[in-house]
């Protein structure tokens, strides 16, 4: 500790980010500062103002490093990216298992279309959202495509058409692929969809009504009828949307929260042009359960900083806590840097702002109760697992492994991790089997466990689940002994099997059985219990993750093998082709001109590739029936 204090005295008095590490040199906290020396020194003063969390953190610090930035705003931006990368133990961290869904409009294309996107990129496209779920986004895209007759086909399919497809024939597309609509008219339909997404509903309806009258006057009755149907469809959608301010022309996010000694749930409500388009919850457990005195301003600022690293920045952010003028202005500068436009961050003092904040806080209170109830059920399930499997510690971290292969080829393995009974996808790992030839699941399992537990930097689980019963359990114990991890608890999960004969009136099945080292008879869990759901859930997730990886490798191998027969297509050109298209279907659908334009390609080679692929059937993208059904 004294050495750290001496080193801190030499820190510069400029903006930057500091990284605190423990004895194993693992980053346990990342912070930002306007004055690095003053901020870091404050941790090592005997101040009664320090929270319990800060005092506990300081006890773990063995090393402190820093990264200089030009401004305090840059320090904020860097802090968020470092927290996301290193996930330090004592930082507030967002734990979404997936990114928010957005609607992306490819306005840079000659004939744009609408996509679901999980990341907002600076690619010239227009993004709308975030929305509540992917299902909601697909529903909106389908509605817009049908209402404004926007194409929904892939670019490769679009470029290969010589006649209209079925979508046009049933009246859901204007067939820009074969020039049945001009660029200007198609763009007008896209502009209407964009205006609708922006909330300019009155303008959209007025424009459609004008076009309908114009079509009717010109005796284009089919076009007039289509526009009439579009107007009615839009009105029905608008009736279902919650309106909080029908005069607002700005985009707002409202952040409320509710919490107690168990943690805090933040509710983010997304309002676009006065209409609620979605809401999302983020639960922040206390870093140290013994420190309920954490400063709300600190974790709320950290939340806002991290949240808008990956999400669209609105025109205004309403917060449930007054952070003070200086910090509010600093957050505005940070968000302006991210969003590219002016942003207002404020604690609401007007009546409408109070109503929005009350709505966010009410939702947070309701969702907090639901989240805590679910967490308590998970806790009881983990406690039951601990008792029934006779574990020394509560299995907060459970790891499960699965092996997948296809007729002995492309053997792969998955490592799935559950923390406190729920998936922790940041900790998932995939393995390509290196030392085993053929379909030998026992040897493959041993290789994977040896490789995994040689990673000393990865946290050890309180429970390891392998599938296959006693056989795989024995292999797992051998592997753990080799790496000096014999103290880790392992259970073998034997999948339930159907029993009986064809003449039986009813189909029966055995129970899921869990085998423990040194015990002859298996342990079973009630099928409807939380403990059972956790253990079977992680097994099923491991199987899904392994199969997905295995299928991806098979598709790549199949494509690569087909390309091997093309004369003049070397490894470098093959990699270029794979990177651009990825699948046989995409390449087959491409035009010779598209292939010829790739670096190192020409027209002759492009036609040779398409000729070769046209003579070979595509591999069906079905379930891998040869892969093991047990997840290991």
Confidence band, pLDDT 50/70/90 cuts, at residue 14: very high
Distance CA 262, CA 586 (A): 50
Closest to 140 (Cα-Cα) out of 117, 166, 111, 121: 117
Confidence band, pLDDT 50/70/90 cuts, at residue 557: low
Task: Decide if 436 contacts 411 (C-beta within 8 A).
Answer: yes
In DSSP terms, 128 is beta-bridged to: 103
Confidence band, pLDDT 50/70/90 cuts, at residue 96: low
Distance CA 600, CA 577 (A): 10
Q: What are phi and psi of 279, to 5 degrees?
A: -145, 160
**Structural tokens at position 134:** 């992917």
Q: Is it true that the peptide bond before 130 is cis, omega within 30 degrees of 0? A: yes
Q: Express each pLDDT in 247-298 by its tens digit.
A: 677 899 999 999 888 889 999 999 888 888 888 889 887 654 444 445 788 8
Distance CA 315, CA 250 (A): 6
Task: Decide if 304 contacts 338 (C-beta within 8 A).
Answer: no
Average pLDDT of the residues of the chain: 83
In DSSP terms, 208 is beta-bridged to: none
In DSSP terms, 429 is beta-bridged to: 415
- Number of neighbouring beta carbons within 10 Å of residue 534: 24
For residue 564, count CB atoms less than 10 angstroms from its CB and return exposed for 0-12, middle for 13-18, buried for 19 or more. Answer: exposed
Q: Express each pLDDT in 204-254 by its tens digit.
A: 788 778 888 888 888 888 778 877 877 887 777 665 556 666 667 789 999
380-393 in b/e form (b: 16+ CB < 10 A) is: ebbebbbeebebee
Closest to 334 (Cα-Cα) out of 362, 351, 364, 313: 313
Q: Which residue has the higher pLDDT, 628 or 76?
A: 76
Q: Hey, what domains does the chain have and what are their CATH numbers? A: 2-86 (3.40.1440.10), 102-240 (no CATH), 251-371 (3.30.420), 389-632 (3.30.420.340)
Q: What are phi and psi of 371, to 5 degrees?
A: -65, -45
Mean pLDDT of 535-547: 89
Distance CA 570, CA 222 (A): 54
3-class SS of residue 15: coil
Q: Which residue has the higher pLDDT, 101 or 365?
A: 365
3-class SS of residue 426: helix
- Of 359-363, 384-388, 569-573, the least confident: 569-573
User: According to the model, what pLDDT value does residue 627 have?
Assistant: 30
Q: Express each pLDDT in 176-209 by its tens digit.
A: 999 999 999 999 999 988 887 877 777 778 877 8
**Structural tokens at position 100:** 């928010």
User: According to the model, what pLDDT value does residue 597 have?
Assistant: 84
User: According to the model, what pLDDT value does residue 553 have?
Assistant: 64
Q: Express each pLDDT in 444-458 by its tens digit.
A: 999 999 999 998 888
Q: Express each pLDDT in 392-410 by its tens digit.
A: 999 999 999 988 876 556 7
Instruction: Say what angle helices 325-339 and 72-86 make with each other, to 10 degrees.
Output: 70
Closest to 375 (Cα-Cα) out of 420, 415, 333, 335: 420
Closest to 281 (Cα-Cα) out of 127, 80, 95: 95
């Amino acid at each position: 500790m004294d050495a750290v204090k001496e080193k801190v005295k030499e820190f510069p008095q400029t903006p930057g980010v500091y990284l605190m590490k423990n004895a194993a040199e693992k980053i346990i906290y990342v912070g930002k500062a306007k004055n690095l020396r003053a901020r870091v020194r404050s941790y090592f003063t005997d101040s009664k103002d320090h929270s319990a969390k800060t005092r506990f953190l300081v006890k773990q610090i063995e090393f402190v490093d820093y990264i200089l930035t030009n401004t305090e705003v840059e320090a904020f931006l860097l802090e968020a990216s470092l927290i996301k990368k290193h996930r330090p133990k004592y930082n507030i961290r967002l734990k979404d298992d997936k990114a928010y869904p957005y609607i992306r409009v490819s306005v840079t294309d000659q004939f744009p279309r609408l996509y679901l996107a999980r990341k907002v990129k600076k690619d010239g496209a227009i993004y709308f959202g975030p929305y509540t779920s992917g299902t909601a986004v697909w529903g909106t895209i389908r509605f817009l495509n049908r209402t404004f007759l926007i194409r929904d086909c892939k670019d490769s399919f679009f470029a290969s058409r010589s006649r209209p497809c079925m979508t046009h024939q049933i009246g859901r597309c204007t067939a820009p692929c074969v020039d049945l609509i001009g660029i200007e008219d198609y763009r007008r339909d896209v502009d209407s969809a964009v205006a609708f997404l922006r909330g300019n509903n009155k303008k959209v309806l007025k424009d459609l009504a004008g076009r309908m009258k114009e079509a009717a006057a010109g005796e284009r009755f089919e076009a007039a009828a289509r526009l009439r149907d579009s107007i009615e469809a839009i009105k029905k959608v608008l009736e279902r949307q919650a309106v909080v301010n029908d005069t607002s022309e700005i985009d707002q996010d409202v952040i409320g929260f509710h919490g107690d000694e168990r943690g805090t749930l933040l509710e983010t409500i997304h309002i676009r042009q006065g209409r609620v388009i979605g809401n999302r919850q983020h639960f922040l457990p206390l870093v140290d359960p013994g420190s309920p005195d954490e400063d709300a301003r600190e974790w709320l600022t950290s939340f806002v900083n991290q949240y808008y690293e990956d999400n669209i920045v609105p025109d205004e952010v309403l917060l449930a806590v007054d952070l003070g003028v200086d910090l509010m202005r600093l957050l505005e500068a940070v968000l302006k840097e991210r969003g590219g436009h002016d942003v207002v961050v404020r604690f609401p003092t007007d009546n409408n702002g109070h109503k929005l904040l009350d709505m966010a806080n009410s939702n947070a209170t309701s969702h907090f109760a639901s989240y805590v109830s679910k967490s308590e059920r998970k806790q009881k399930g983990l406690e039951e697992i601990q008792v029934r499997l006779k574990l020394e510690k509560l299995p907060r971290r459970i790891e499960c492994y699965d092996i997948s292969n296809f007729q002995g080829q492309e053997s792969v393995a998955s490592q799935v991790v559950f923390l406190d009974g729920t998936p922790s996808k940041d900790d998932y790992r995939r393995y390509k089997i290196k030392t085993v030839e053929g379909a030998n699941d026992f040897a493959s399992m041993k290789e994977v466990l040896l490789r995994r537990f040689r990673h000393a930097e990865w946290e050890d689980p309180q429970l390891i689940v392998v599938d296959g019963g006693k056989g795989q359990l024995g292999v797992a114990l051998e592997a753990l002994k080799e790496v000096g991890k014999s103290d880790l608890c392992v259970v073998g999960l034997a999948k339930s099997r159907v029993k009986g004969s064809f003449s039986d009136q009813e189909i029966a099945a055995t129970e899921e059985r869990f085998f423990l080292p040194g015990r002859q008879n298996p342990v079973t869990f009630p099928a409807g219990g939380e403990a059972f759901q956790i253990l079977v859930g992680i097994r099923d997730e491991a199987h899904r993750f392994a199969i997905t990886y295995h299928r991806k490798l098979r598709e790549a191998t199949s494509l690569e093998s087909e390309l091997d027969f093309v004369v003049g297509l070397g490894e470098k050109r093959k990699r270029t082709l794979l990177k651009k298209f990825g699948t046989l279907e995409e390449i087959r659908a491409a035009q010779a001109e598209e292939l010829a334009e790739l670096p190192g390609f020409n027209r002759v080679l492009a036609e040779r590739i398409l000729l070769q692929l046209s003579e070979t059937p595509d591999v069906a993208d079905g379930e891998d029936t040869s892969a093991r059904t047990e997840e290991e």
